[in-house]
Amino acid sequence: MVKQKLQDYEDAIVHAFIEEHAILRFLSAGDAHGDFVRVQKYIAECMKEKQSLNVVFTGDYQAEPEKDRSRARENVKRIFKMVKERLEDKLIFVLGGNYEAPAITAEAASELGKPLFSIGSLIETSSEESCSGNYFKHDKFTFIGVEGTNPINGFFPGERTEQELQLALEKAVEKECPTDIMILLTHAPPYRCGSRDALGVFGLPSSYWGRHVGSTAIMSFLQKHKPILHVCGHVHEGVSVSACLWREDGNVGIEDF
């Protein structure tokens, strides 16, 4: 009981510090997979946060990885309409996951309009072969986003090569101001950056348990550009916060929370 009260007191101090010093507020969630109840719960949580200006959806909106672009776009729009109607006072960043083919999310967001913003790709570069990332500037922060994942098994429409992900990220960052504070938004986690990309045991053969499946391109981007924060989704069981210490020798010190 005493230990719990101490923990509650410490949590209250941390919360109060964040409330006093936070200069950028946003909420993030991903991998709804067609579950409208979960989406509604997330929307309700976002509505409670009156001071939060930005909302992030990190992909995998569909229940199934629909490969027909027209049907996939309508599936994504159903989710986006729910979000837009309830969160019209917030800026909503969206990007596609491995369940959405390149630019599907951007097309759906463009058709519905503000406050949706495709941070994962640009409409002008909507070819499936080379879809660049996107960026958004807010005060002294720059959000960099890219959609899709590194290769999985060839079944999902949003799979991309590591080279494609690297090119998309670099194109997105070309116009980023070097004096800005960078925040990276992706669907896929980085490779071996804490436990965020480690598979669990549910529905998988034992040879896959604990395997790291993140993107080497995203990890290389993190090491090169050192953003202050990286938000991702994809690996459902990999729920964690990893703090990284970027060392001068190129190595990374990582601790999971």
Q: How many CA atoms lie within 13 A of 188 on its CB side?
A: 31
| CATH 1.10.1060.10 is held by the domain 24-188 | no
pLDDT single digits (tens) 122-172: 876 555 545 789 999 887 889 999 999 999 999 999 999 999 999 999 988
Does residue 98 surpass a pLDDT of 90? yes
pLDDT of residue 140: 83
Residue ranges per structural domain of the chain: 24-188
Highest mean pLDDT among 5-9, 13-17, 95-99: 95-99
Dist. CA 74–CA 62, nearest whole Å: 10
Q: What is the pTM of this model?
A: 0.83
pLDDT grade for 12, boundaries at 50, 70 and 90: confident
Burial class (CB in 10 A: 0-12, 13-18, 19+), 14: exposed
- 50-54, 113-117, 122-126 — most confident range: 113-117
Please give the average per-residue pLDDT across 23-46, as a whole number.
86
Q: What per-residue confidence (pLDDT) applies to 129? A: 47
